[in-house]
Amino acid sequence: MSSTAVRRTALAASAAALALLVTACGGSDDDSAAGDDRAKAEQSAPAEGVGESAPAGKALTAAELEKVALAQADVKNGEVATELSADDQVAKDQISADDKACLPLVHVQGAVAQGEPAADVQRSWQGQSESPSESKGPDGQDMTDIDVNKILLNVASYADGGAEEAVAGLKAAVEKCADGFDATAGGDKMRVTKVSGADAPKGGDEGLTVNIGVATGGDSSGLMKLVVVRKGSTLATFSAVNLSSMMTGAEFEVPAEVVDAQVAKLG
């Protein structure tokens, strides 16, 4: 793929899918039981900053954002990382676009804050789901479809209306960049083939959902989704990919549990 950000995310998701397949095929019942016990223990643990939310109208510090940003105990499924891996990190000065109006979209893709926030923090979430496959194995055995999703998340706080300005810039970018654009992230080029708005996410004071078509080679195009939610002076942005959709361009749903959990912590 031409985009490092897209390629890294797809490769990470692919590795997770492979690991899940190996576990499903070769893991013992004891291993599964131990994993279930660990998962139950994690889910029952109290959430970091539980009961805390972002004070309305106040620009939060980095320390305060850490308390209201997504934590492992906030979700029942998947894994939350409180720091982006080296492969996922992209510096703001490493992002460019042939049309500056489209830059806000590239920032969301890379989990980079819009504009000049008072502070921001990053998170990532990765999860898998399984469902019975319509196809059969070589010996007629039942097969399982594995769905792998990954989200890169940025939570930023702004002073003096900066959060509202950021949302306005993103909405303008969806309209101005509908026919696509060329961008660079971390030194690697990416061709966005299409940009379109979708139903706004629930919760928050305002927000938007964006479908992004990304060239993946030849005439193929993968699908990414961006979700943006503003609550007061705090802005949460989500860059979501699904392994299958990135390869085929097929429609997929952004895991609502992750978005809802983050928005709920913003108050």
Torsion 263-264-266-267 (CA) sign: positive
Residue 116 has pLDDT above 60, yes or no: yes
Residue 117 phi/psi, 5° resolution?
A: -75, 160
Residue 130 has pLDDT above 70, yes or no: no
Question: Which residues lie across from 214 on neighbouring strands?
Answer: 192, 222
Contacts of residue 234, Cβ cutoff 8 Å, sequence gap at least 6: 54, 60, 65, 68, 155, 156, 157, 158, 163, 266
Closest CA to 265 of 112, 82, 58, 47: 47
Alpha helices by DSSP H, listed for 100-157, are: 103-109
245-264: per-residue pLDDT in tens? Answer: 888 888 999 999 999 999 99
- Ranking 27-31, 211-215, 248-252 by mean pLDDT, the lowest is 27-31
The whole-number average pLDDT for the span 27-50 is 43
Q: Residue 38 class from Cβ within 10 Å (0-12 exposed, 13-18 middle, 19+ buried)?
A: exposed
The whole-number average pLDDT for the span 31-49 is 43
The whole-number average pLDDT for the span 133-141 is 66
Q: How far apart are the first and last CA of the chain?
A: 39
**CA max distance for the chain:** 64
Residue 18 and residue 234 in contact, taking contact as beta carbons nearer than 8 Å: no
Q: How high does pLDDT run on average in the chain?
A: 81
64-105: per-residue pLDDT in tens? Answer: 999 999 999 999 999 999 999 988 999 999 999 999 999 999
Residue 147 and residue 241 in contact, taking contact as beta carbons nearer than 8 Å: no
How many Cβ atoms are within 10 Å of 124's Cβ, its own excluded? 22
pLDDT band at 244 (very low <50, low <70, confident <90, very high): confident
Element (H, E) at 261: helix 256-265
In angstroms, the CA 173 to CA 195 distance is: 9
Residue 155 and residue 68 in contact, taking contact as beta carbons nearer than 8 Å: yes
Closest CA to 66 of 126, 153, 5: 153
Residue 190 and residue 6 in contact, taking contact as beta carbons nearer than 8 Å: yes
- 3-state SS, residue 203: coil
Closest CA to 56 of 129, 158, 128, 133: 158
